[in-house]
Chain A
Amino acid sequence: MDSALAVVDAQSDIEALYRADADRLWRAIYAFAGDAEIASDAVAEAYAQLLNRGKAVRDPAAWVWRAAFRISRGELNSRRHAIDPPRDASSHIDAYADHDLLSAVRALPDGQRAAVILFYYVDLPIRQIADRLGTNGLAVRASLSRGRRRLRQLLGDHDG
């Protein structure tokens, strides 16, 4: 296979991955960052970086998630303000009304928040969560354990 064809294949594969997986990634980042613009920026940047790397990335699906979470985390750090409840008035945000859950999730530290979202929303097993966060399974389990306890505290009153 010549290099030009390899490029085409890489790009079409990445676009196929985007079409299949990016909506879920965007929602996960939205839950993580609490901001639709950060979610869009992180997903777009992660996929652009993936295109840039092409076939050099061994596991594009995991890589792009890891990159998107890291980019959103960097953006949150650079903004350096509290993660407020969603204030985006666009219709696609209004469609999701469980602000209690999102507010509770956003009260978790970053690692716990990412692990909880990947476990409960994306439904990944712990080993894949570790791959996508660039850590190990034991650390993920600890983050999940702590995050879930905290969520129980935060949501307990609402669930009677």
Chain B
Amino acid sequence: MTTMDDLRRRFAGLDRLRAPDLWDEIELRAAALGSTQRPTLLPVPVTRSRGFSRRSLVVLLAALALLVALLASAIAVGSGLIRLPAIDRTPPPAQVLDFPNLTTTFVSPRNGFSIKHPDSAALTPAWVMDGWDPGNEESDVGVDVVETGLAAIFKGASLKAPEWEGSINGFVDDITPGGCGATRSQQADITIDGRSGWIAECPNEIDAIVVAGGRLYLFTLLHDRSDARAVFDAFAATIDLTPETAADKNDVPRWVSVLKGMTKTFVSPTYGYSFKYYRGVTPATEVWDPGNQPLDDINLDNRFDANETGAGAYFEAASTPIPDGVSIDEWVDEYVTPPAASSCAVPRSQQEEISIDGQPGRIAVCPGAPDTDPRWTIDTSTPGVIHATVVAGGRLYLFSLYSGNGEGVRMMFDAWLDTIKLTPETAAVP
């Protein structure tokens, strides 16, 4: 288990790196900006001092060298001086397949296909709300996953193909970079539901791509089997491509998808409530005691039940007994959600009134910090925060949502609040 101390110790190892002395370079760059003699009194638009970047020159020279090499190679190949090995584009013969029958049909809720799988497989349908983002390694939420339990996991996803026909190869290479070392044109052909595509067989992974109805489909088999290609072909033979049924995130209101996805119930073992969720719940491991814990204590995250939806929204919840004789509004402002600590700066007494499970409460919506220069954005989804506080059975409940800005964020939060049942009598901590 990685602890906070482990991380500090391991990060401290960075101190062994020797940083270069850049001061001369800095002065050159500053001189290029023409500024060391005229300090600016007002913020100015940033113009990068690229004129002194040694890397730019190196990159340019490398690019020129590469271009020359490519031209020379092309001339050599074209003239017959060099013969490239022929590429076998025929699929390998299927091996003996020891795999259960694919008898049950799964229809993707967002990706526009159906597939058959063994009865025993575990399914994780794609999360409609967030779409599939091939550039985001964490974004399995837009991918349908069939876990067979037999050293083979089949995944399927799709997105709108670029309208510019000429970009399809580059687009595909972005999605499956490298293709096990083979460029798109060197990969084998495959046909899925009558559509031609490409297939790449990498160690422990097979990727196939087809385009249908303006959508690009990626089907992947993660495996540890010697007959993986046969397993893949068996799955692929059952696929029906229905691009007309695909739903991209912009096609579906976020709150609709939230309601569709929240089907499981989490009962807090600690704090006296339950709520619906889709996946990704982590119960609190420590007790939240806001009156005695500083707000910027990193360990706070262990004190909340958390729901990392994987769809750009992160919920937290906890409750605590209200001290005797305090004003709820003042106590919340001082210890729970101080206005000064957030971007919305609204005292609880002035916040919008809401109701959670029939109990009156307050809600504060704090938008994420905008960034005026996208090129320099640290995090384009600087999270906004929504806090709701409600009192029930002598306890103060705090429900929070951290999310990027967007029209559906408040609706998403409201949809989540609607699933909450307050049961202060079941709280396990005083």
Contact = CB atoms under 8 A, between A and B. Distances in A.
B81 interface: no
A69 B23 CA distance: 18
Given A96-B14, A136-B369, A137-B296, A120 B23 contact: no
A143 to B, nearest CB: 7
A136 B342 contact: yes
B22 interface: yes
Interface in A27-78: 27-28, 30-31, 37, 39-41, 43-45, 47-49, 51-56, 67, 69-71, 73-74, 77
Interface residues of B, number: 73
Contact of A152 (B1, B23, B49): B1
B379 interface: yes
A143 B306 CA distance: 13
B17 A93 contact: yes
A44 B25 contact: yes
A10 B39 contact: yes
Given A107-B137, A156-B1, A156-B2, A139 B383 contact: yes
Interface of B is mostly: loop
Interface string B20-48: 10110111011011011111111110101
Contact of A120 (B8, B37, B137, B368): B8
Q: Chain A contact residues (Cβ within 8 angstroms of B): what range?
A: 35 or more
Contact of A155 (B2, B17, B26): B2
Interface in B75-120: none
B2 to A, nearest CB: 5
A14 B23 CA distance: 10
B284 to A, nearest CB: 12
B22 A49 contact: no
Given A134-B378, A136-B342, A101 B11 contact: yes
A148 B282 CA distance: 13
Given A45-B48, A82-B177, A70 B377 contact: yes
Contacts of B38: 7
A137 B29 CA distance: 33
Given A92-B18, A121-B12, A127-B296, A48 B29 contact: yes
Given A51-B30, A142-B402, A111 B381 contact: yes
Contacts of A15: 23
A109 B23 contact: no
B377 A146 contact: no
A107 to B, nearest CB: 6
B366 interface: yes
A109 B376 contact: no
Contact of B369 (A54, A98, A135): A135
A69 B22 contact: no
Most chain-B CB neighbours within 10 Å: which of A22, A45, A91?
A: A45
B137 A96 contact: no
Given A73-B377, A137-B295, A138-B366, A92 B19 contact: yes
B378 A110 contact: yes
Nearest to A153: B2
A151 B409 CA distance: 26
Contact of B26 (A51, A82, A148): A51
29 contacts: A7-B39, A18-B23, A26-B22, A31-B11, A39-B19, A40-B22, A44-B22, A47-B22, A47-B26, A49-B33, A51-B30, A53-B40, A70-B377, A73-B377, A93-B17, A96-B13, A107-B138, A120-B4, A136-B366, A138-B343, A139-B383, A139-B385, A141-B296, A142-B314, A144-B301, A145-B314, A146-B314, A148-B7, A155-B2
